Amino acid sequence: MPAVATRYDYRAIAFCYDELAAIYSLGRIARSKRAFLSHVRPGESVLVAGAGRGDDALAAARAGAVVTAVDRSGTMLGSLRTVAAREELVLECVEAPVEASCEGRIFDHVVAHYFLNCFSDPEARAMLRVLSRRVGPGGRIHLADFAPSEGGRLARWVTGVYYGAIAIAGWALRLCALHAIPDLPGWLENAGFEVKSTKRFAVTPGAAPAYWSITGRKRVQGESAASTD
């Protein structure tokens, strides 16, 4: 199934999208989106897919990375361009669907935070394949998203209620498809990546509900898992 993002339109909530996320996640979404920075070095190339207002793209540019931010919403990218100009940061903004942009280009890092959760599972898997083609051998992909529960029945129930309420609200606003929390580490392994790190950001004391940041390293052809760094 092709990865198609054109059915989802964030223009109407561009002005408050990050603020809403900060409220219902108690700031954990912002923290999870910054976690990838520990893997990025000055001069490395970074593609931010579904950049939105671009907090993670701006953070990578401040760290000295060569950043390309892609989003189909000109409204979202307008906010990103304004901040970049004010701080005199140099980055490339591409207003286009992610699946149709940067074809043939290879990056050291691909960042897709809270992007795959827009899609149904088959569409998200297809989009992950698109993104994997933008990562060079030995490069990294970084995903931040809702985390599955850890713990017993109560933790699963709390996570289900919390995630379900947000997912239904997003679906009702035509911002995303309805789906369960995906097994992102498993998806990355199947796409040719070795999971190098996962970090959870619990919303409240305890294991659930939570968000997480995952980094995968793209295996080089012929490389065994034991030989990776």
Q: How many CB atoms lie within 10 A of CB 10?
A: 20
Tell me the pLDDT tens digit for each residue of 138-180: 999 999 999 999 988 999 999 999 999 999 999 988 888 999 9
The pLDDT, as a whole number, for residue 155 is 92
> Does residue 135 surpass a pLDDT of 50?
yes
Residue 112's pLDDT is: 97
> In this structure, is residue 25 part of a structural domain?
yes
229 is a domain residue: no
Q: What is the pLDDT of residues 211-221, one digit of tens each?
A: 999 999 999 98
- 2 within domain boundaries: no
Please indicate whether residue 13 or residue 186 has the higher confidence score (pLDDT): 186
Domain that holds residue 72: 11-218
Supply angle C-alpha 14, 181, 123, rounded to 5. Answer: 70
The answer to whether residue 223 scores a pLDDT higher than 80 is no
| In-domain check, residue 153 | yes
Looking at residue 113, its pLDDT comes to 97
DSSP code, position 79: H
Is residue 8 pLDDT above 80, yes or no? no
Other beta carbons within 10 angstroms of residue 69's beta carbon come to 29
**Is 66 among the domain residues?**
yes
Tell me, what's the pLDDT at 81? Answer: 95
For residues 53 and 79, the answer to whether their CB atoms sit within 8 Å is yes
The reply to whether 223 falls in a domain is: no
Does the bond joining 2 to the residue before it have cis omega, within 30 degrees of 0?
no
This prediction has a pTM of 0.92
- Structural domains in the chain (count): 1
Q: In CATH, what number is assigned to the domain containing residue 175?
A: 3.40.50.150
pLDDT at 35 over 80: yes
Instruction: Return d(Cα 213, Cα 145) in angstroms, integer.
Output: 7
pLDDT number for residue 1 = 39
Residue type, 83: V
Q: Is residue 154 part of a domain?
A: yes
Is pLDDT larger for residue 122 or for residue 14? 122
pLDDT (average), residues 62-68? 98
Residue 114: what pLDDT? 95
Domain-located, residue 73: yes
